[in-house]
Amino acid sequence: MSRKPLDFAKINRAAMARPLDILQRWLPDGRVEGHEYVARNPHRADKKLGSFKTNWKTGRWADWSSGDSGGDLIALAAYLHQISQYEAAQGMAEMLGIEHG
């Protein structure tokens, strides 16, 4: 079975139109610090905010303790939900009301 093509750029543009809404949905205990959304990494035993950050203007994210990082919100969705980039983009398209395929 072949996968339906997804417009990753279109999905990322739609996500970046409302990055804080998305970040607060995925990482509800986070907070905004300047251009960064700082939260606890759900894949580590983080006890406090600090090392897991997403630049809400660019979508780039990193966990400075573990070294995990990515360049956009699709990559962050894949990381958080432990799914493929394709599955993350597909889920985001649905969440954002973007038709695909």
Is there a domain that residue 45 lies in? yes
Domain that holds residue 61: 8-95
Helix residue ranges per DSSP H, 1-101: 8-16, 19-26, 73-81, 85-96
Pick the closest to residue 54 from 68, 77, 35 (CA basis): 35
Is 101 a member of any domain? no
> CATH code at 81?
3.90.580.10
Residue 67 falls within a domain, yes or no? Answer: yes
100 located within any domain:
no
Domain tally, the chain: 1
Task: Give the model confidence (pLDDT) of 23-59 as tens digits.
Answer: 999 999 999 999 999 999 998 887 788 889 999 999 9
Instruction: Indicate whether 1 pLDDT > 60.
Output: no
